[in-house]
Structure 1
Amino acid sequence: MFKRLRRGAAILALLVSAACGGTAIPATKAQTTISVVATTTQVADLARQVGGDAVRVTQLLRPNVDPHDFDPSPADLQALATAQVVVKNGVGFEPWLDEAIASAGYTGPVVDTSQGVTLHEGHDEEEGHEHGEHDPHIWHDPANAKIMVADIEKALNQADPAHAAAYAQRQKAYDAELDRLDGWIKQRIATIPEADRKIVTNHDAFGYYLDRYGLTYVGAIIPSFDTSAEVTGKDLADLVAAVKKAGVKAIFSESTLPPKTAQALATEAGTQVVGGENSLYGDSLGPAGTGADSYLGMMRHNTDVIVGALGG
C-alpha cells in the first residue's frame, strides 16, 4: 500500500520546498478560508456542511473507492503538508493515514470524528452476538453523525475563531436536518412487515443503521468490517443456510464491491440480489448525480432501497 506513498514523499519534499521554502503554508490575514483535508467522502461532506464558505475541503478518497485499499498519492501528501486541519473518521477506518501524515510532515490538529460515539462491536453470525473488534462505520446512524459534526465544529472553531459564530450556526442548522432525516427513516422502516426486517449485505458495514432502526442482521458475504478479509467456502455455506432459515427477501450488494458473489449466493439460497443503481452505499458516498453524493442523500437512498426490497 505504501510503496507509492514513500516514493511520493520525495516528490512532496521538492514541491513543498519550492512552494513555501520547506515549510507548510501558514494561515495569513489575507486568507478568507482555512485549508481542511478530509479523509473519507462522509467526513468531507460533513466538514463542508459545517465549514461552508469559510473552509476549503480537500477530500482524499473519491466516491466508490474502497477505503481499505486506498493508496495516498503525492498530491494527497502535498495536500496534507499544507493543511491547517485534518479530519478523519477514526476507529481504524484509515489505516494508511498515520504514515501519510508522517511522510507529509503535517503537525497540525487531526480531528477524530469518532470521539464521543458509543462504538459497537462486530457481529458473530453463528451466535448472533458481538465480538471484540469495533465497528468503524459510525456514520450510518444520524445520531452519530451529529456527534461527528460537533467534533468538526469544535476543531474549526479552534483553528479559525473568527468564524466561530458561523460554524456554530451551521452546525445547529445541520443538526436539525439530521433530526428530520432520522424521523423520516424511522417512518419508512416502520412500513416493512416486522417478519421481513432482515438484512444480508456484502460486508458487515451497516450495524449502526440496523441497531438504530430495528432491523435484524442475518449475515454478510464478507463477515468482516474490512472488505479485504478472506471468505471461506464454509462462510458462504453457512450464510446460505442462514438466509434460507430466516426467509431473507433480498441480499444487498454494495457500490464499492463486485456483485458476482452476492448473485451466486442468492441463486443458491433462492432469493434476489439488489444491486446496480440500487446498490447500497456502505463505505462511500455516491458520485455526483447519483442522489447519494451527500450524507443526507446517501442515507435516503439506502433507506429507499431497503424499504423497497423488503416490502415496505
Structure 2
Amino acid sequence: MGRWWARFVEHRIAGLGDMPRSGGPRTVTDEQVAAVVKRTLESAPKDAAHWSTRAMAKEMGLSQSTVSRIWRAFGLQPHRTEAFKLSTDPYFIDKVHDVVGLYLDHPERALVFCVDEKSQIQALDRSQPVLPMMPGVPQRITHDYVRAGTTTLFAALEVATGKVIGSLHRRHRAEEFKKFLVKLDQEVPAGLDVHLVLDNYATHKTPAIKTWLMAHPRFHLHFTPTGSSWLNLVERWFAELTNKQIRRGVHKSVQALEKGIRAWIAAWNTDPKPYVWTKTADEILERLASYLNRIPDSED
C-alpha cells in the first residue's frame, strides 16, 4: 500500500498505471512469433515429416526454448497426429439423427441395445512363463506367443443401464447372429420393444435374418453409417474388455479364454456403468462441417 501511495504522491493518477519493470528487454518480436507459427502450420522440413523444436530453431534463428514456448502458447504439437475417417454413406445425416435420437430420447416401453461382434479373439499362451511384478520391476512377458484358437463374442450393451448380454461362438456367420437374436428375445421381458443399434455387416442383412425379424416385429434395427463405428457405444465397452481382460491375458485354450470372458461379463453386470451420450446430432454434424472446411476440395 505504501508503494502505491508514494507513486500517487509523485506522479498523481499516472503513477497508478503500469510502470516499467525490471529485466532485460524483449528479444523476440511479434513478427518472429508469427513467422514461427506460419512455418509450423504451412510447411515441413526437407528431411522429416514434421518440425522438431531443434529443426525449427535452426530454421528461424531462434533458441529451442523460444520455439517451445511459442508452440505451447499456440497449442501446436507437430509430433502428434490423430486418426479420423469420413463416412461416404449417402444416408449419413439420416442415420446420425436416428441413432443419436435413440440415445438421447429412449422410446417408451422399449429397450435400446448397442450390438456388435468382436471376432477373431485369440487365445494366446506366452512361449515362456510370465515373470511377476516386483518393486521397481514391471511384469514381464515374452513378445512371442502360441496361438490356441479363436472365438467370437456377440454382445448387446443396454444403453440405459450399461448391462451386457453376451454370447460366444466359434464362427461368425448369420447363423450365429440369429442365435444371438433368439437369446435377446428370450432375455428381454415380453411386452417391450427391442431397438438394436448395429453396423452394416452383411450377416445382419441376410434373407434368413430378415425372415426372423418379420416373425418378431418387436425388434427394430437401426444401422450406423458406413465407417462410423464410433456411433456404436458397445465399441467403447469392447475397448474396456480388451484392455482389462484380453490384451494381457494368458489362455492356454479357447475354453479358458471363453471362461475368462464370461467371468468378466458377469463381474461387469454386478455393477454396470452406462455410457452417457451427450452430443446432439446437430452438434455432431456441425463438428463434421468444420472438418470438411479444412479439407481442400471437400465439396467435391
Is the radius of gyration larger for structure 1 or structure 2?
2
Whether the TM-score (by the shorter chain) exceeds 0.5 is: no
TM-score class, shorter: under 0.3
